Amino acid sequence: MEKIKENIPLVTADGTPLKISLARAQRRSKIVAFMMVFPLLLFITIAFIGPIADMLMLSIDNTIVKEILPKSTEALQSWDEYSGELPDEAVFAAIVVDIKKAKATKQHTKIGSRFNYESSGFSSLFRKTGRKVKKIKKPPYKQALIKADKRWGEIYTWQVIKQNSSSYTDGYYLAASDYEREFSSGNIKSLESKDSIYLKLFFRTIVLSSLITFLTFVIGFPLSYMLSQVSTRISNILIIFVLLPFWTSLLVRTTSWIALLQQEGVINDFLILVGFINEEGRLAMIHNATGTVVAMTHILLPFMILPLFSVMKTIPKSYVRAAVSLGAHPWKAFWKVYFPNTGPGIGAGSILVFILAIGYYITPALVGGSSGTFISNRIAYHISNSLNWGLGAALGVILLGIVLALFMLYDRIVGIDNMKLG
């Protein structure tokens, strides 16, 4: 009788086997959980993953050449660019057809600008040819095109076009790394020191961001310690002053530093008043690296104080008292007992400040001058002014790679699990 009862399957009130009912309940709970996080997932995809993927594609995209010069790129495939001879008549005929179509749709200037990123002079070449190509109606196209502009008779012109005729290019990354391609030989070489721009900017960005992170730690640690030691009522009042910059426009805070740091500003006037410097010795503290460091340290200081304070508030005061009662000097008790417990807050504040600093561009643009700008300012320039989106995207990808590499290094040395905000 007991064996018969053991073989009877367990069922719910409606007769459904318990195993099936549990599986349905788990499936429903997973669907509900997914629907709850779906808006956040959609937002991250649209606002974060999508733009990064688009930036990756822009940094290697070169489809504009095949779209505007389809016949020319196809005809050039059979031409040996290192033979020392110009392409045959078929190639000249193809590019005449392509430029005529591009002129009709007003795209000849776009392709000229694209090749101009690789070698100067192509923008004017395609504009000039676009004006004269309508007069070329019959062969020989080679002579007619060279007559329109003698640069079509130079092998270098055709080498640049052929070597940039594929759908994808590494040219933007070469330019972003201060390298260039010798189109006459196909070799890649580094730029001379006087022409190198971006590697110096990347180095400056990392160095100044690290310095800003260090200064916010030096200033923020004692302030956070004081906030954690006073009573809750007083610390709440003081926290308001820490948060006060968040309620003030970034532009207002930055321009305030311009008024303070300029050579005719408040700080220089005060130093002259107390006799520290004279009129001829006014300090240049703005439109240079000093202005960038000072202004950004002030702006990013709350991002260091808040994580430190939230961690310090959770450290029992009895730890240090116990160490002192056991014979340790107060300073030794602080460094050996209290300070190590603040590690998670230091890690959180440091990585937060550093990542924010490395991507800042408004403040360096206003107070940095020529020696205090970051790589982000150059990215903004290419996106907004020069419209060289490919180079701007390549610089952005490299900057993203540097941040990820430093993040992984931080994880290996400190450990992301040890980073806490409270």
Take residue 82 and report the two structure tokens written for it. 């290192």
Write out 147-175 in H/E/C secondary structure.
HHCHHHHCHHHHHHHHHCCCCECCHHHHH
Q: What is the pLDDT of residue 8?
A: 66
CA 13 to chain centroid: 59
Residues 307, 345 contacting (CB under 8 angstroms): yes
Take residue 294 and report the two structure tokens written for it. 């000072």
Take residue 88 and report the two structure tokens written for it. 């045959």
Query: Running along the chain, 422 residues long, what does each successive block of 10 average in pLDDT?
Result: 57 73 85 89 87 90 93 92 90 93 92 91 93 88 91 93 92 92 88 88 94 95 91 87 84 88 88 87 88 93 92 87 86 88 88 91 88 91 90 93 86 68 54
**What are the angstrom distances between the C-alpha of 99 and each of 62, 79, 152?**
18, 19, 13
> CATH 1.10.3720.10 in the chain, residues?
198-418
Which backbone phi and psi does 254 adopt, to 5 degrees? -70, -45
Please report, as a single letter, which amino acid is at residue 314: T
- Name the DSSP class of 191: P
Residues 73, 65 contacting (CB under 8 angstroms): yes
User: What's the length of the chain?
Assistant: 422
Which backbone phi and psi does 384 adopt, to 5 degrees? -100, -35
Residues 375, 205 contacting (CB under 8 angstroms): yes
First to last CA, the chain: 60
Q: Where are the alpha helices (DSSP H) in 182-288?
A: 198-229, 232-243, 250-261, 266-273
Please state, in angstroms and rounded to a whole number, the distance separating the CA atoms of residues 375 and 378: 5
Q: What is the pLDDT of residue 419?
A: 60
Q: What is the pLDDT of residue 5?
A: 52
Q: What is the pLDDT of residue 213?
A: 95
Element (H, E) at 182: strand 179-182
Residues 352, 21 contacting (CB under 8 angstroms): no
As a CATH number, domain 198-418 is: 1.10.3720.10
Residues 350, 407 contacting (CB under 8 angstroms): no
- Name the DSSP class of 188: E
Q: What is the pLDDT of residue 318?
A: 86
Q: What is the pLDDT of residue 1?
A: 43
CA 415 to chain centroid: 23
Which residues are within 8 A (CB) of 229 and not within 5 positions of it... i.e. 6 or more apart? 317
Which backbone phi and psi does 414 adopt, to 5 degrees? -100, -45
